[in-house]
Amino acid sequence: MREIAAAVAEPIGRLGGAFMISREAKTFSAETGLSGWTPYFRGRFGVLGEVDADVVRSAAGFFPATTVRRAWEAGAGLAAADAADRYAAVAHGFGRRKLAGFGGAAADRLADLLHRVAHSADVVGAPVSAGWRAMPLPEDGPARVIQLAHVVRELRGGLHVVAVLASGLTPLEAVLSGHSPLLPDGDPNAEYFGWPRPYPEVTDEIRRRHDEAERLTNELMAPAFASLGKAEADELVHLLGEAEKTVFGG
């Protein structure tokens, strides 16, 4: 199942993460009066509850402590549970808008397969995925697809943090050498996350460790897909690709 984990990594990353930079997310920011990284942190990590910023940083993995604490504490006026509920509504609205043309049966089937993956996964090492998995699901397929894609995305994200550290990379080195399906690579991404310059050179050894972290992430993700038969796994890959085309074009 490592091949399936690798094949779905990018579409899951895009489908499960794009709502956080959507027009619905901008509306959430405007309605709550939150700005900068604050709506992102309060919404995405609200499932952790009213915790210290270091707890959020331990789950976020790839952000410097100053970025996390400043953003998390700036949103203290919005209760964590309320922020999570409202952020889930952002995901639902994004799904209904962008997957409207995907087809009801296809969306329902994709949601069912994602639900199998999300709810058979061991969430040790992925607390944000566990938190989002516990959130109630909407009834309609397009909204369910995005929320469940986000649950699986958070699973991979948590396990990737584990893999990065096990491969001997620092979080900053991982950001500099990694690839995000929704953000720029390298120095611009590190700067966007709030890491202060100067940045270390991305050497061949760092690239080797990055590749090892990706391999290990796929290995750690593989058990989540074990509940699917070969035909179902192939169907998941196909439906994710079609959903990705519907949302992003291509």
Q: Is the pLDDT of residue 141 over 70?
A: yes
Q: Is the pLDDT of residue 184 over 80?
A: no
pTM across the whole model? 0.96
Q: Is the pLDDT of residue 156 over 70?
A: yes
CB 90 within 8 A of CB 119: no
End-to-end Cα distance, the chain: 27
| pLDDT cut 70: percent of the chain above it | 99
Token pair, residue 148, equals 């469940």
Q: Is the pLDDT of residue 214 over 90?
A: yes
In this structure, the number of other CB atoms found within 10 A of the CB of residue 185 comes to 13
In this structure, the number of other CB atoms found within 10 A of the CB of residue 16 comes to 27
Percentages helix, strand, coil for the chain, rounded to the nearest 5? Answer: 75, 0, 25
Query: For the chain, how many structural domains are there in total?
Result: 1
pLDDT of res. 250: 62
Residue type at position 169: L
Cα 222 to the center of its chain, rounded Å: 17
Token pair, residue 64, equals 């410097």
Q: Give per-residue pLDDT as tens, 224-245.
A: 999 999 999 999 999 999 999 9
Would you say the C-alpha torsion 103, 109, 112, 118 has a positive or negative sign?
A: negative
- Can you tell me whether residue 23 is helix, strand or coil? helix
Q: Give per-residue pLDDT as tens, 61-119.
A: 999 999 999 999 999 999 999 999 999 999 999 999 999 989 889 999 999 999 999 99
Q: Which domain holds residue 214?
A: 2-248
